[in-house]
Every structure is written in structure tokens, then in C-alpha cells.
Amino acid sequence: MRPVSNSPYRRLKVRIQLTMTGFQKFPPDQLQTLRSELMQSGLDSFQSAEMLSAFLTQHGYGVSHDEARSAASRIESVHFSLPCLQEELERLAFIT
């Protein structure tokens, strides 16, 4: 059996399934807690990326640390919007 890769095709497939089923990977209460921690902690984007990576790892997903830093910057730029946070986490998460 081949290992699952983080290919663009694989990510697109996961996003399509997400869109079609309406399935959310992360419970809203956990997203809200993460958002609050990010907002109140005063972390820079590198530290925020580590927090995002830890959150995803705790949920059994892999993550690219470079992409996590970019996502952290985007999340910060929209003042930690909950929909943006969810979208970025779903974009970052890949099945290991």
C-alpha cells in the first residue's frame, strides 16, 4: 500500500468531499478556543504557526510548517476571523 501524500490532487479531493458533504473537520467550540488563544497570546506569526501545527497534530493531521506560517499571517491579517481560521486549518490539514 502506498503512503498517502500531500499532493495537490489529494488536497483537492479532500476539499471537494468537504464541500459536497458539508463535513467540518474541527468542532466549532475547539475553533473558538484556538481563536481566543491566538488573539490573547500576543504571539508572532512563527509562534502562531506552531500553535496551528500543534492543533492539527492533536487532531491527527499532518501539516507543512512553511504553509502554517503563511496561514498564520493570513489569519492575523483578517483579525483572527473564525471563518478564515476554519478555512486555513482545513486547507493546511492533510491525512498522514
Model pLDDT for residues 26-53, shown as the tens digit of each residue: 899 999 999 999 999 989 999 999 999 9
Q: Count CB atoms within 10 A of the CB of residue 92.
A: 23
* Whether pTM exceeds 0.85: no
59 belongs to a structural domain:
yes
Number of domains within the chain: 1
Q: Which domain holds residue 77?
A: 26-95
Q: What are phi and psi of 15, to 5 degrees?
A: -65, -40
63 Cβ neighbours under 8 A, 6+ residues apart: 52, 53, 56, 57, 92, 93, 94
42 belongs to a structural domain:
yes
For the chain (96 residues), the mean pLDDT of every run of 10, in chain order, is 51 49 73 94 93 94 93 93 93 81
pLDDT score for 25? 75
